[in-house]
Structure 1
């Protein structure tokens, strides 16, 4: 987590991480302000800390030092929790899809500062907060969750901010936990495969052997998603390959990721999706290859002709 001040959202995330159902643990609290009160709390709670003032440093050098400390901690995600320094393009790109922030408005309303005053000036009945992915564009990354807060008669920016902060403390831990758990969540993994599989020409989804199954309309099946099939505890894509030799080579290359799916024979491979590091571009490639292996020649010829243009 990156902080610059009191670290109230950091505290909310920290204490929530200690519940049994939390999907994350905090391995580092880092700050650009060595005097940040949040650092003292983290130290008291025996969470490792790192501090480096940005004063006198150019942005890229400071970003690089922060990045080095974060990666050395073993962190896989970053949660910004009141980090009052703009991060450079290179830093943001290096953590694309793995850096979250909480913002005190119902985005896309009121990005940037003065959010509470803007909500009051606009006469909004509801204010609130959003947790979003961090991109180069200010407060414009994908919104992952929101919490609404009623605007009360007589509210000032300060009174509204105090209630929105309470909502932030409730929202941020839940959204962060859900987000970092997605690579292990069977429903989410099936949904990712479904979107890629149904993008193939003339693809349809059915259920076969109790598994989501994808085939060509009125044709052969080109993929299954196995979810704890026969109690094996795995969530995996089953895709077509050239035969037993390739199957053996893949399993020998990475026995944790690849396996021989039961009852499917030597021309199928099981590809684990639940290891937390799935390359979805590679999965898309597997699906395209598997689709082509069963597609009628007339259909693949049409695809090849279209590719030439």
Structure 2
């Protein structure tokens, strides 16, 4: 079985969604594992459940602490656990933009409404007051704006005659338990899927001026139309087991320095020589802004002067 992606879960109370994620992870085909359950409430009963199931826990009360100091300690504990993703499961603290940015695209939350309806609290009461036919839940990526990240999945739950906020909440919670694990599994799988990774590179490479794509030696290859190539995507090329972006560098010194600084991520691609570097995309924590910068730099190294001059002139304005 492939190695599972490590996930940390943040809770503040009973942690029923954490438990749902944890028990779903025990399935043989689940692509993630829970490596840490952390809380701002040392009395949270979910911590006891996690410990009983053999999962590491971390608790640090936020009262009396500076918010950033608390988040720094929390972030350090998450990273020490080896987690590559963070799942919020009833974590009742609003996280700062700085904390969220550190897990951009790798932090998820489940919210008890059909977003964009009813962000924040009292979602079931608001759905009932509005006369809605359905309540429901949403799993979404976390951004700095409350309950506003890209939606990964939703489940609608019918509102029945005579429902109260409590009875509706109970059914929505069942839906949350089903939806959250499926969305988390899909998200972590996407991060190492060759098709997804190639698509992410393609969208960035073809956004560059006069860029096109061909197939070269079985690899997607990007270059200037009728010109030189500036990037390849290697997918298990010659059986190396890697999905990687190959881009141009200044020469052997830069290539060696990159590999020395981060040998897990950078490597010398076979058959490409000293002017190229391999950047692993399949480690589960790809910085896509950095990938975009690498592509732009590599494009500039092969683009004709008339193109780069136009870009420079546009940037000057």
Give the alignment's TM-score, normalised by structure 2. 0.84
Between 102-111 and 21-30, the greater mean CA deviation after superposition: 21-30
Give the alignment's TM-score, normalised by structure 1. 0.86
CA RMSD of aligned residues (A): 2.7
Q: Counterparts of 1:281-296 in structure 2 under 5 Å?
A: 281-296=289-304
Instruction: Output one character per residue of 1:182-210: Cα deviation in whole Å (capped at 9) or x when no partner.
Output: 43221221122112101210112233332
CA distance in 2, matches of 1:190, 1:84: 37
Deviation at 1:249, TM superposition (A): 5.4
| CA spacing shift, 1:102–1:287, aligned 2, 3 Å | same
SS at match of 2:191: helix
Deviation at 1:103, TM superposition (A): 0.2
**From 110, 117, 134, the counterpart of 2:125:** 117
Deviation at 1:93, TM superposition (A): 4.2
| CA spacing shift, 1:152–1:13, aligned 2, 3 Å | same
Between 81-90 and 124-133, the greater mean CA deviation after superposition: 81-90
Between 62-71 and 203-212, the greater mean CA deviation after superposition: 62-71
CA distance in 1, matches of 2:139, 2:250: 45
**From 89, 97, 112, the counterpart of 1:81:** 89
CA distance in 1, matches of 2:258, 2:120: 49
* Correspondence 1:261 to 2:269: yes
Between 41-50 and 148-157, the greater mean CA deviation after superposition: 148-157
- Structure 2 partner of 1:174: 182
Q: Counterparts of 1:1-309 in structure 2 under 5 Å?
A: 1-57=9-65, 59-243=67-251, 247=255, 250-251=258-259, 254-309=262-317
CA distance in 1, matches of 2:165, 2:281: 46
CA distance in 1, matches of 2:48, 2:260: 49
CA distance in 2, matches of 1:304, 1:274: 33
Deviation at 1:14, TM superposition (A): 0.9
| CA spacing shift, 1:38–1:266, aligned 2, 3 Å | closer
Does the 8 Å contact 2:84/2:284 carry over to 1? no
CA distance in 2, matches of 1:48, 1:193: 36
CA distance in 1, matches of 2:276, 2:117: 49
Instruction: Output one character per residue of 1:48-81: Cα deviation in whole Å (capped at 9) or x when no partner.
Output: 2233444455544544444444344343332221
| CA spacing shift, 1:170–1:223, aligned 2, 3 Å | same
Does the 8 Å contact 2:242/2:280 carry over to 1? yes
Between 276-285 and 76-85, the greater mean CA deviation after superposition: 276-285
CA distance in 1, matches of 2:74, 2:252: 48
